[in-house]
Amino acid sequence: MNERIKDIKKLESSPKVIKNLYNQEEIEEFLKLYEDLPTTVHNKKQNVIKKRWLQGYNKKLEKLFCERLKKEIGDFKMDNLQDENGKDIFGLIQESYAPIGLHVDAGFELSNQIYKQSLIPLSSVGSTVIFKNRFYEGSTSFTQDPEELKKKNLGYGQNKRSSEHLTLYGDKPFDKEIHAKYLKHENIDNLKGLEVELIYEWEVGSMLIFDRTHLHCSSSVIEGKKIGIATFTKK
């Protein structure tokens, strides 16, 4: 195991949920920020609108967010890609109409010591499934779809596609009850060898924090659409 992975593993911990971290007024400010930001990607195939949380749109929220995250995870640096001027962005605000599949947000620069990621729900219906299984080789979407696996010419910030997970975690069939309740959008064979660590039921005002090495995905529980802010850190 290389030194980078050893350093990452030293700081790993169980996912945690901080309840009532943001009040209603602050959530309204986040929603206004979402309205004000320009659309970065409207992926019609995934049925998701992504907006980068650019610096300077709401300085008060930026300060508030960083202070509260630091209180929970200690010192960190942002690892959320950069804007056209080379400035760090604070994260991605995503408006999803369909669940996002199995993936890991382990970064695009393999020399970085990735740390924690956070999720702030801005709508109340939704859930996120975190698996015990971990992956250390960069941001990856895990799939068996031959068309997806052909995609090699990826743009800045796009996950590589891989079916490598199917050989990493054993052959144990995935839990059928959890699949039926939360993961109907995923082929159950694509979840072979995976074990659930936490199912985070979205709650406005709370924040989920977990290691960036965790495989995870949206659940299939969705009412119309859901909006959440995802941020990524490094040491």
> What is the chain's pLDDT, residue by residue, as a tens digit (235 residues)?
688 899 999 999 999 999 999 999 999 999 999 999 998 877 766 678 989 999 999 999 999 999 999 999 999 999 977 788 888 889 999 999 989 899 999 998 888 899 999 999 999 999 999 999 999 999 999 999 988 898 887 776 789 999 999 999 999 999 999 999 999 999 999 999 999 999 999 999 999 999 999 999 999 988 889 999 999 999 9
Confirm whether 95 is domain-assigned.
yes
Q: What pTM was estimated for this model as a whole?
A: 0.93
- Residue for token digits 């039926």? 180
Confirm whether 186 is domain-assigned.
yes
Confirm whether 154 is domain-assigned.
no
In DSSP terms, 196 is beta-bridged to: 131
Q: What strand order describes the sheet that includes 214-218? A: 160-162, 140-142, 103-104, 214-218, 127-134, 196-201
Q: How many residues in total does the chain contain? A: 235
| pLDDT confidence of residue 1 | 60
Contact predicate 234/112, CB 8 Å: yes
CA-CA-CA-CA torsion sign (92, 98, 99, 100): negative
CATH number of the domain that 171 lies in?
2.60.120
Confirm whether 23 is domain-assigned.
yes
Each residue of 185-218: b (16+ CB within 10 Å) or e?
A: ebeeebbbbbebbbebebebbbbbbbbbbbbbbb
Confirm whether 19 is domain-assigned.
yes
Q: Which of 144, 231, 221 is nearest to 185 (CA)?
A: 221
Confirm whether 122 is domain-assigned.
yes
Q: Tell me the angle at which helices 59-73 and 24-36 cross, rounded to the nearest 10 degrees.
A: 120
Domain count, the chain: 1
- Residue for token digits 């998701």? 48
Q: Which of 127, 128, 103 is nearest to 223 (CA)?
A: 127
Longest dimension (CA), the chain: 49
| pLDDT confidence of residue 113 | 95
- For residue 10, the surrounding DSSP H or E stretch is helix 3-10
- Around 232, how many Cα atoms within 13 Å sit in the side-chain half-sphere? 24
Confirm whether 155 is domain-assigned.
no
- Residue for token digits 């993961």? 183
| pLDDT confidence of residue 40 | 84
Contact predicate 119/96, CB 8 Å: no
| pLDDT confidence of residue 45 | 67
Domain range enclosing 219: 3-149+160-234
Confirm whether 115 is domain-assigned.
yes
Q: What is the DSSP string of 114-145?
A: EEEEEEEESSSS-EEEEEEEE--SSSEEE---
| pLDDT confidence of residue 91 | 92
